[in-house]
Structure 1
Amino acid sequence: MTHSRFAPRALIIGAPRSGSGKTSVTIGLLRAFARRGIRVRGIKSGPDYIDPGFHFAATGIPGLNLDSWAMQPDLVAHLLKQAAYDNELLLIESAMGLFDGIAGGEGRTGSAADLARLLGIPVLLVLDVSGQSQTAAAVAVGFRHYDPKVKIAGVVINRAGSERHVNLSRAAIEEAGMSVAGAVMRNGELSLPERHLGLVQASEHAGIDAHIDKLADVMEASLDLDAILSMAQPIELRDGATDAAIPPPGQRIAIASDAAFTFLYPHLGSHWRALGAELVPFSPLNDEGPSLDCDFCWLPGGYPELYAGQLAAANRFRNRIRHFAQSKPVHGECGGFMVLGTSLIDAEGTRHFMTALLSHSTSFAQRKMNLGYRQARLLDNGPLGGQGSVIRGHEFHYASVINSGRDEPFAEISDGTGQPLGPSGGKRGHVSGTFFHAIANS
Structure 2
Amino acid sequence: MSLDTDVQVPQRRELRTSIPGPRSQTLAERRAAAVAAGVGSTMPVYAARAGGGVIEDVDGNLLIDLGAGIAVTTVGASHPKVVEAVQRQVAEFTHTCFMITPYEGYVAVAEKLAELTPGDHAKKSALFNSGAEAVENAIKIARHATGRTAVVAFDHAYHGRTNLTMALTAKAMPYKKGFGPFASDIYRVPMSYPFRDPSGMTGEQAAQRAITLADKAVGADQIAAVIIEPIQGEGGFIVPAPGFLAAVAAWCRDNGIVFIADEVQAGFARTGAWFACDHEDVVPDLVTTAKGIAGGMPLAAVTGRAELMDAVHAGGLGGTYGGNPVACAAALGAIEAMEADGMLQRAEQIGAVIRSTLEAAQQSQPAIGDIRGRGAMMALELVQPGTQEPDAALAAAVAKKCHEQGVVVLTCGTFGNVIRLLPPLTISDELLAEGLQILTEALTSA
| TM-score, length of structure 1 as denominator length | 0.29
Higher helix residue share: 2
| TM-score, length of structure 2 as denominator length | 0.28
Higher strand residue share: 1
Flag the structure with more relative contact order, 1 or 2, with Cα contacts below 8 A and sequence separation at least 6: 2
